């Protein structure tokens, strides 16, 4: 079988993961002008945002929505496209902005949601990698995520580009409100070099994948913005390795879900400055009660709670999100190699496009 004969050296997925620093650099050059203004068109007034998407693009929405609330002080919700079309009512004001996210611009569920909401006269925006796609042409406002062609079924560089575009939108909103965003822009400009350092620190990522390969029961834990990062990591391992991986918020995991650790298990924990004390306390209890193997992906240098600790050095949340995401992508890709699976063409999967 193809998957049994797969050689990681031919992985398009790994190549596309490694392209991400360049994708980020190009996007920043595209959208940040020499005058530090963000070159994205927005409605004059926005009082709430709803982000609608499917698959990895939904995880982009789930990562971005709390950032809009935290950094731009604007209410933001997110929904699965397939669930959105089944709802009979949606929250709409004259200044609502509905953002639709799709790598191809042709995702059937997301297009159905877009067409439905447009009938209500709502302002619409898309984030897509496909200029002149159906979604691009239907929306009032458009952001090209410009990641280049993504050939691997498992989305990596396109997702990173979508998240960055979401952050640029929220920074444009802050700037429109008269706030100084120069510090945030400087953080984003340092992002390509930061991602280069992470992708080059491959020994621990390989060691983590080797450790994870010994288990069929895998739980990935994260808080707040990092919970959808954990979900995306779980999705990548599911897509590429066909393992039943689950993602949970740290606290919620302790309410019953933790019982899965009665089986032979491994836990992957994402830890940052905000949740470090809480996460380490829970991991200590998890180890005492169940003694699973633990891998920590952490931006906090003194965290030593794992059997293996991967340090993604930064104090900036907007960088750590990308760092933890890239690390999980590389673990999934390397894990597929160890298990002799082809991450580029998972059995039974294809990118979902319009009917």
Q: What is the pLDDT of residue 11?
A: 86
Domain residues for the domain of 320 are 196-338
Q: Is residue 273 part of a domain?
A: yes
Tokens of 62: 């789930």
- Stated as kind and residue range, the H or E segment containing 322 is helix 317-338
Do 188 and 169 contact (CB within 8 A), yes or no? no
Question: What is the total count of domains within the chain?
Answer: 2
Q: Is residue 170 part of a domain?
A: yes
Q: What is the pLDDT of residue 348?
A: 67
The rounded distance, in Å, linking the Cα atoms of 260 and 289 is 12
Examine the domain organization and report whether 155 and 40 are in the same domain.
yes
Q: 3-class DSSP state for residue 168?
A: helix
Examine the domain organization and report whether 98 and 119 are in the same domain.
yes
Examine the domain organization and report whether 333 and 258 are in the same domain.
yes
Tokens of 46: 């926005």
Q: What is the pLDDT of residue 181?
A: 96
Domain boundary among 130, 154, 189: 189
Q: What is the pLDDT of residue 350?
A: 66
Examine the domain organization and report whether 51 and 157 are in the same domain.
yes
Q: What is the pLDDT of residue 6?
A: 41
Tokens of 279: 């996460």
Q: What is the CATH number of the domain that holds 134?
A: 3.40.50.10490
Examine the domain organization and report whether 183 and 213 are in the same domain.
no
Question: How does pLDDT run along the chain (355 residues), one tens digit per residue?
Answer: 333 344 455 689 999 999 999 999 999 999 999 899 999 999 999 999 999 999 999 999 999 999 999 999 999 999 999 999 999 899 999 999 999 999 999 999 999 999 999 999 999 999 999 998 999 999 999 999 999 999 888 899 999 999 999 999 999 999 998 999 999 999 999 999 999 999 887 899 999 999 999 999 999 999 999 999 999 999 999 999 999 999 999 999 999 999 999 999 999 999 999 999 999 999 999 999 999 999 999 999 889 999 999 999 999 999 999 999 999 999 999 999 999 998 887 776 665 544 4
Examine the domain organization and report whether 88 and 215 are in the same domain.
no
Q: What is the pLDDT of residue 201?
A: 79
Examine the domain organization and report whether 239 and 263 are in the same domain.
yes
Q: 3-class DSSP state for residue 327?
A: helix
Q: What is the pLDDT of residue 70?
A: 96
The rounded distance, in Å, linking the Cα atoms of 248 and 100 is 25
Q: What is the pLDDT of residue 84?
A: 96
Examine the domain organization and report whether 67 and 122 are in the same domain.
yes
Nearest Cα neighbor of 194 from 340, 327, 334 is: 327
Q: What is the pLDDT of residue 268?
A: 98
- Stated as kind and residue range, the H or E segment containing 183 is helix 182-189
Tokens of 321: 């999100």
Q: What is the pLDDT of residue 249?
A: 96
């Amino acid at each position: 079988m193809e998957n049994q004969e797969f050689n990681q050296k031919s992985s398009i997925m790994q190549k596309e993961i490694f392209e991400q620093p360049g994708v980020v650099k190009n996007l920043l050059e595209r959208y940040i002008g020499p005058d530090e203004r963000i070159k994205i068109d927005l409605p004059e007034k926005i009082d709430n945002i709803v982000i609608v998407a499917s698959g990895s693009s939904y995880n982009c929405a789930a990562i971005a929505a709390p950032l809009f609330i935290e950094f731009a002080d604007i209410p933001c919700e997110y929904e699965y496209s397939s669930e959105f079309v089944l709802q009979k009512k949606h929250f709409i004001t004259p200044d609502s902005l509905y953002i639709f996210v799709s790598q191809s611009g042709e995702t059937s569920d997301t297009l159905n949601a877009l067409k439905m909401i447009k009938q209500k006269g709502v302002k619409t925006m898309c984030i897509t990698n496909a200029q002149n796609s159906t979604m691009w042409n239907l929306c009032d406002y458009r952001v090209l995520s410009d990641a280049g062609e993504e050939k691997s079924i498992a989305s990596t560089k396109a997702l990173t580009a979508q998240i960055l575009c979401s952050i640029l939108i929220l920074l444009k909103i802050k700037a429109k409100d008269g706030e100084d965003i120069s510090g945030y822009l400087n953080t984003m400009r340092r992002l390509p070099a930061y991602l280069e350092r992470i992708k080059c620190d491959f020994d621990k990522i390989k060691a983590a994948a080797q450790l994870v390969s010994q288990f069929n029961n895998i739980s990935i834990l994260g808080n707040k913005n990092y919970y959808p990062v954990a979900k995306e990591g779980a999705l990548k391992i599911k897509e590429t390795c066909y393992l039943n991986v689950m993602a949970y918020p740290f606290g919620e995991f302790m309410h019953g879900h933790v019982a899965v650790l009665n089986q032979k298990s491994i836990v992957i924990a994402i830890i940052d400055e905000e949740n470090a004390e809480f996460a380490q306390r829970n991991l200590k209890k998890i180890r005492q009660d169940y003694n699973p193997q633990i891998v920590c992906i952490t931006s906090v240098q003194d965290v030593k709670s794992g059997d293996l600790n991967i340090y993604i050095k930064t104090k900036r949340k907007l960088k750590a999100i990308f760092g933890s995401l890239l690390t999980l992508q590389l673990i999934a890709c390397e894990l597929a190699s160890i298990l002799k699976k082809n991450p580029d063409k998972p059995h039974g999967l294809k990118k979902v496009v319009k009917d």
